[in-house]
């Protein structure tokens, strides 16, 4: 904040106005009341009045143009300019004084047919609660604030204060909050009470008001006080996660409890509730050797302990030979591929009964333990992740833009509860930042009109937005552990958005459930990706071409697919636990669904969808092959003749081939520019094959491991899986036969065929060595594309020889 003295002159304003403003960094977006901007003289005299001392102690003069860049430094400062402005009447109840201490005292606010009550006071007659009534739903002229006792009849009250709605002031977003004032209470006849005063404040404001996130909105006033926290909007942050690498090398001087020949020795690692172990040592002695990496996901501030245990196992017993415990805060951190330092750690041996719990002894463990900050700890599928930054902030690049999302409303939602009710809220996730809108109670067309901002570090990222039905508003549902219901979700990839363009569209909510697929409604969003000059500068070319998508640590020390999958599950569980402990908690089912933890589960629907994707990509090649066959059969003589001439030109003059190919792709891209979509790419129901999925396929997709089905249903699913496996086996058999035939060409399994193949090789060597390449290619093209009248089905072909090559299929049982 910077304080300025501003002088404005206007031909339409008779008096010269001098006033002091608090100028925000986005000064050009704020409105000054009672000033028409088109009449303001552009020659504004702005005198800086901040406490900046100079050499002579005099204040410096600063023009608006000189301050413009500095005022726009904070890119995350934004107004509510993507969403519709919603006006509310705010009533802030603070406390009462000079009043008997009644344990069951509470305040009731009545506005027409809308009513809101505070919680019951216990000792101090203080509440400090804020209520927000939507202005469009106000149809009363008077606002009545009643002081009541729980033991009194419902139509009786102790005292009241009345206000005329039309006289309540309006508060601008740039103004300070309204100060609460004392109001004398009056009885039912309108006479002032001898004792008692109520402190409150009233004003009209918007959803940008600072009290709006904590206010009890008019649609949630019927909710109990213990459930109101579950209706408020919140911002959550995922914990910062690191990979913990434990390279177990070897141990020495172990006191073995069993003969090493009949037992196995391994190292077990425990971090909190997570546990993993090494393979069995091949060196069965008191000096076992492993040299194996054990990986964990650890979260800052690293308060957990790592416990390494050497275990000797027999079929009947497991015995711990020694343990080593360390705090994660003491573990070495590294951000590059340099190996961590190796240490010999003294082991502690569990003592016997009646002795000290742990006693020092000579056994040692050699290991490297490090926290790797050069990796990106993935909690989402890598192909549509919302963040690719490494764990260590030292390796972060500067942001490339700002993502602004306005969650406007939803329309035509399906009823999720008895009585045709839906209590919907939205959850959006991008990077480590999660946002949750307020819950609109009992509405099938909720209006949220909330706006959120994220910093963007990589355009090839996806934001996920889900619509959820709130099942935590009833104490009975919370006691039973009822989970929230995820109605549907959408994803938007940022790299498909144009620079600084505002997209305001509605997106279909396709709900996938075990009982079928439904359209759950539509969600209306306003999305803008602001990147400044980044996309059209040289930095864009350098960023896309030279900057790897994932941190370089993944390329220098890659993780195996099994490790990556296991670590992703660990990261998801940590985030679920962290967000479920927040207030209000974000349910584990919501976090798991947005992170798409079931993306790698077997699904017939996804298998068909991936097959269709592959066929759509190969359709152009298949069409070209069919067209080439038509050319070969001379179905269109003129077209076949032109194609042969073109091929001969490329053979005789190959120099323009590559330039023409580049120009061809350039023309295709330029032609597709006119056909580019005018809306962001999002989840496609047709691409997902949800319209062709059967109920049995969906039930199998949502089934757990081990399966929850049995009887006839399980038999049908098993038979279907066998049919799919049969088709896969047939294709795999064809591929194996082809590879076997290639190997048989020179393996002398069939001596006559191999001898003939060698003759072909000698003939090919002589032809290609003595005949010019252009001559050979011309002869081959003319031979391959010869007219049908010159063809003979029994003519000699190399394919006949390949078909006769033996394979190993005949020798498989």
pLDDT value at residue 10: 37
User: What is the rounded distance in angstroms from the CA atom of residue 248 to the CA atom of residue 566?
Assistant: 19
pLDDT value at residue 714: 79
User: What is the rounded distance in angstroms from the CA atom of residue 410 to the CA atom of residue 425?
Assistant: 10
φ/ψ of 358, rounded to 5, equals: -135, 140
pLDDT value at residue 256: 87
User: What is the rounded distance in angstroms from the CA atom of residue 539 to the CA atom of residue 555?
Assistant: 23
User: What is the rounded distance in angstroms from the CA atom of residue 232 to the CA atom of residue 213?
Assistant: 6
Sheet holding 114-117, edge to edge: 114-117, 105-111, 142-149, 159-164, 181-186, 192-206, 87-97, 126-134, 216-217
C-alpha dihedral (730, 731, 732, 733), degrees to nearest 10: 50
User: What is the rounded distance in angstroms from the CA atom of residue 688 to the CA atom of residue 701?
Assistant: 13
Burial of 603 (0-12, 13-18, 19+ CB in 10 A): buried
Helix, strand and coil in the chain, % to nearest 5: 30, 30, 40
For the whole model, what pTM was predicted?
Answer: 0.77
CB 386 within 8 A of CB 463: yes
Burial 621-635 (b: 16+ CB within 10 A, else e): eeeeeeeeeebbebe
Task: Please name every residue paired with 23 in a beta bridge, in sequence order, or none if there are none.
Answer: 2
514-517: which pairs have CB atoms within 8 A and are 24 or more residues apart?
A: 514/695, 514/698, 514/699, 514/701, 514/702, 515/695, 515/698, 516/695, 516/698, 517/685, 517/690, 517/691, 517/693, 517/698
CA distances, 614 to each of 34, 174, 492, 496 (Å) = 62, 55, 23, 22
pLDDT value at residue 766: 87
Residue 377 has, within 13 A of its CA and on its CB side, a CA count of 29
Which ranges of the chain have pLDDT less than 70?
1-80, 100-101, 122-124, 218-223, 350-361, 532-539, 792-798
The encoded tokens of residue 536 equal 């059209």
pLDDT value at residue 537: 61
CB 809 within 8 A of CB 733: yes
User: What is the rounded distance in angstroms from the CA atom of residue 500 to the CA atom of residue 494?
Assistant: 12
User: What is the rounded distance in angstroms from the CA atom of residue 71 to the CA atom of residue 468?
Assistant: 38
């Amino acid at each position: 904040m910077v304080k300025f003295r501003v002088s404005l002159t206007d031909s339409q304003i008779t008096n010269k106005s001098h006033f002091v403003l608090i100028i925000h960094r986005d000064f050009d977006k704020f409105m000054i009341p009672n000033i028409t901007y088109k009449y303001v003289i552009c020659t504004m005299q702005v005198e800086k009045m901040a406490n900046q001392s100079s050499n002579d102690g005099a204040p410096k003069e600063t023009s608006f143009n000189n301050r413009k860049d500095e005022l726009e430094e904070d890119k995350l400062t934004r107004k509510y300019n993507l969403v519709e402005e919603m006006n509310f009447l705010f009533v802030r109840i603070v406390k009462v004084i000079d009043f008997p201490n009644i344990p069951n005292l509470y305040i009731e606010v009545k506005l027409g047919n809308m009513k809101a009550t505070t919680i019951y006071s216990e000792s101090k007659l203080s509440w400090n609660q804020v209520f927000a009534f939507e202005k469009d739903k106000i149809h009363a002229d008077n606002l009545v604030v009643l002081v009541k006792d729980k033991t009194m009849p419902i139509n009786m009250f102790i005292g009241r204060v009345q206000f005329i709605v039309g006289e309540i002031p309006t508060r601008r977003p740039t103004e300070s909050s309204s100060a609460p004032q004392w109001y004398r209470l009056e009885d039912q006849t309108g006479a002032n009470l001898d004792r008692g005063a109520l402190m409150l404040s009233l004003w009209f404001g918007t959803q940008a008001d600072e009290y709006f996130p904590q206010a009890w909105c008019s649609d949630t006033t019927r909710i109990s006080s213990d459930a109101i926290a579950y209706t408020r909007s919140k911002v959550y942050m995922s914990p910062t996660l690191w990979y913990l690498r434990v390279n177990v090398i070897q141990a020495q001087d172990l006191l073995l409890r069993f003969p090493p020949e009949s037992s196995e020795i391994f190292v077990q690692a425990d971090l909190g509730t997570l546990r993993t172990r090494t393979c069995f040592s091949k060196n069965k002695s008191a000096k076992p050797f492993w040299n194996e990496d054990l990986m964990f996901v650890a979260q800052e501030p690293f308060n957990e302990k790592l416990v390494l245990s050497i275990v000797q196992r027999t079929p009947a017993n497991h015995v711990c030979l020694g343990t080593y415990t360390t705090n994660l805060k003491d573990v070495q951190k590294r951000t590059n591929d340099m190996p961590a330092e190796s240490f010999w750690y003294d082991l502690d041996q569990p003592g016997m009964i009646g002795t000290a719990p742990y006693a020092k002894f000579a056994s040692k463990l050699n290991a490297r333990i490090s926290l790797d900050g050069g990796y990106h700890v993935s909690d989402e599928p890598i192909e549509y992740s919302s963040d690719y930054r490494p764990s260590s902030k030292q390796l972060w690049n500067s942001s490339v833009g700002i993502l602004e999302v306005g969650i406007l409303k939803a329309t035509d939602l399906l009823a999720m509860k008895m009585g045709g009710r839906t209590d919907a809220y939205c959850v959006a996730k991008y990077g480590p930042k999660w946002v949750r809108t307020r819950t609109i109670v009992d509405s099938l067309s909720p209006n949220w009109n909330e706006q959120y901002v994220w910093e963007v570090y990589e355009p090839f990222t996806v934001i996920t937005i889900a619509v959820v039905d709130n099942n935590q508003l009833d104490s009975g549902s919370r006691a039973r552990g009822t989970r929230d219901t995820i109605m549907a979700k959408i994803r938007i990839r940022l790299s498909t958005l144009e620079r600084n363009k505002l997209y305001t569209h509605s997106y279909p909510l396709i709900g996938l459930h075990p009982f079928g697929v439904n359209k759950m409604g539509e969600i209306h969003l306003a999305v803008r990706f602001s990147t400044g000059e980044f996309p059209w500068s040289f930095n864009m070319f350098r960023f896309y071409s030279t900057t790897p998508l994932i941190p370089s640590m993944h390329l220098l020390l890659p993780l195996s697919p099994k490790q990556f999958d296991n670590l992703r599950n660990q990261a998801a569980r940590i985030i679920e636990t962290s967000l479920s402990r927040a207030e209000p908690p974000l349910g584990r089912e919501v976090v798991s669904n947005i992170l798409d933890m079931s993306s790698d589960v077997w699904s017939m629907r996804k298998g068909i969808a991936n097959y269709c994707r592959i066929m759509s990509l190969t359709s152009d090649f298949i069409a070209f092959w069919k067209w080439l066959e038509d050319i070969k059969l001379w179905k269109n003589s003129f077209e076949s003749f032109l194609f042969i001439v073109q091929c001969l030109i490329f053979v005789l003059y190959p120099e323009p081939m590559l330039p023409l190919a580049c120009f061809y792709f350039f023309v295709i891209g330029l032609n597709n520019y006119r056909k580019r979509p005018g809306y962001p790419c999002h989840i496609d129901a047709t691409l997902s094959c949800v319209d062709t999925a059967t109920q049995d396929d969906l039930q199998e997709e949502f089934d757990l491991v081990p399966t929850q089905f049995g009887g006839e249903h399980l038999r049908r699913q098993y038979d279907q899986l066998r049919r799919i496996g049969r088709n896969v086996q047939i294709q795999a058999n064809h591929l194996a036969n082809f590879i076997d035939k290639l190997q048989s060409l020179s393996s002398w399994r069939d001596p006559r065929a191999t001898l003939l193949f060698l003759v072909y090789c000698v003939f090919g060597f002589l032809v290609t060595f003595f005949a010019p390449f252009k001559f050979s290619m011309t002869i081959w093209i003319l031979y391959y594309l010869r007219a049908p009248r010159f063809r003979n089905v029994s003519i000699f072909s190399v394919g006949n020889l390949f078909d006769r090559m033996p394979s190993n299929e005949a020798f498989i049982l």
